[in-house]
Structure 1
Amino acid sequence: MSERLGVTPAQTVGPFLHLGLRWPDGPYVVPEGTPGAFWIRGQVFDGAGAPVVDALVESWQADPDGRFDHPDDPRGARPPAVPGFRGFGRSETDAHGRYALLTVKPGPLPDPDGAIEAPHLTLSVFARGLLHRVVTRLYFPHDPANAGDPVLRSVDAERRGTLLAGPAPDGFRFDIRLQGENETVFFAV
């Protein structure tokens, strides 16, 4: 007769992030000095509105032509149009919950159903207390393609603003609220 073992409890994804996932040049999706580069800066907040000081924000995006140098791009992998562009960034939050990523604006993308997705970044947040990463999108303000984006249109109109970056002196600001009032929209991926 065999003995049935108990279920192993789930573990959260932090707080080891600052130790195990630190990447010194992680915030640089493009090298400093890249023409057209800008910063995306923001803060990560918990449900009580307090800054999350030990989170990690990762970005994934297309190049300015809307292409990926990745085998999953259905149009075929292609080297980026911008020298040094890697399409991926990683920024840990500081003592005030702030993160920063240096990037360029991605181009629009075809979606599997034939529609066009507006330029956006996919952002993943890892933090203590989360059993799994949470995934959201950052859209650019006043981009005419936003109106036709199938993902953005699928979000309740009153919550779409949580996916729009705001202008900032050196680029854009995008705060991420994990819970509570004005919680950022997250997607099941």
Structure 2
Amino acid sequence: MVQPLTYFKESASQTAGPYVHIGCTPNFSGITGVYDTDLGSGPMVNDQTRGERITIRGFIYDGANTPLKDAMIEIWQADADGYYNSPSETRGKADPNFFGWARQPGDMATGEFAFETIKPGSVPFRDGRPMAPHVTFWVVARGINLGLNTRMYFSDEEEANAADPILSRIEHRVRVPTLIGKRDGNTVTFNIYLQGENETIFFDI
């Protein structure tokens, strides 16, 4: 007699909880001696990195429009020529002086995050069309069951944004601005809203 394989049922999701920083950023949490540095906390650029230096700053807001103070943010992006620092990159050679990925907890007092990086180049969509320059974000915090994925595009790339294969598929056009980082000089401000009127678009990937 065949019995149902109930033991293969998917485990229930749980929030990141209050221990996400201990596991992912132990030095930041005051747990030293395990790793020299926290993974992803090193600089993304050095003095030989190609491209335009920028700083991405922002906050993660909850549904009450209050900054989260326990969020952890990861970003990944292409280099200035549009290549990823990844073994799966087959289109060309990525800049060896650009790391392309970083992880950072928000400031525990204010909730602000900041990444020192470069403006990425354009990368192709799966059908070959060029995508506008963008940075991918992943956000986790207490109360979030699954990490949230989104993108930040640049306010100074209006023409490229208008032709972007992802942005052009968004049905509710009034929500497109939630994916646009506001550039002022070398600083790009990108605030992420988890809920509410200004809720950021998140991607199911």
TM, length-normalised to structure 1: 0.87
1:153 is aligned to 2:168? yes
1:16 is aligned to 2:32? no
Q: In the aligned structure 1, how far is the partner of 2:126 from the partner of 2:10?
A: 38
- Please give the per-residue CA displacement for 1:69-104, whole angstroms capped at 9, x wherever unaligned: 31323425x231xx5310001121112211010100
Aligned residue type for 1:21: C
1:135 is aligned to 2:138? no
1:62 is aligned to 2:78? yes
Identity over aligned pairs, percent: 40
Q: What is residue 122 of structure 1 aligned with on the other side?
A: 136
Q: In the aligned structure 2, how far is the partner of 1:29 from the partner of 1:183?
A: 29
How far is 1:177 from its partner? Answer: 0.5
Q: In the aligned structure 1, how far is the partner of 2:110 from the partner of 2:42?
A: 17
Say which one has the larger Rg.
Answer: 2
Q: In the aligned structure 1, how far is the partner of 2:174 from the partner of 2:11?
A: 39
> Which piece of structure 1 moves more, 112-121 or 160-169?
160-169
CA contact (8 A) 1:61 1:121 kept: yes
Q: In the aligned structure 2, how far is the partner of 1:79 from the partner of 1:110?
A: 15
Name structure 1 gaps, 5 residues minimum: none
Name structure 2 gaps, 5 residues minimum: 26-37
CA contact (8 A) 1:54 1:127 kept: yes
Q: What is residue 61 of structure 2 aligned with on the other side?
A: 45
Q: What is residue 166 of structure 1 aligned with on the other side?
A: 182
* Alignment root-mean-square deviation, CA: 2.5
CA contact (8 A) 1:27 1:102 kept: no
Name the SS of the counterpart of 1:129 in structure 2: coil
Residue of 31, 44, 49 corresponding to 1:29: 44
Higher relative contact order (CA 8 A, sep 6+): 1
CA contact (8 A) 1:141 1:166 kept: yes
> Which piece of structure 1 moves more, 141-150 or 8-17?
8-17
Distance 1:73 1:33, change over 3 A: closer
- Please give the per-residue CA displacement for 1:39-65, whole angstroms capped at 9, x wherever unaligned: 100001111111111111100100000
1:108 is aligned to 2:103? no
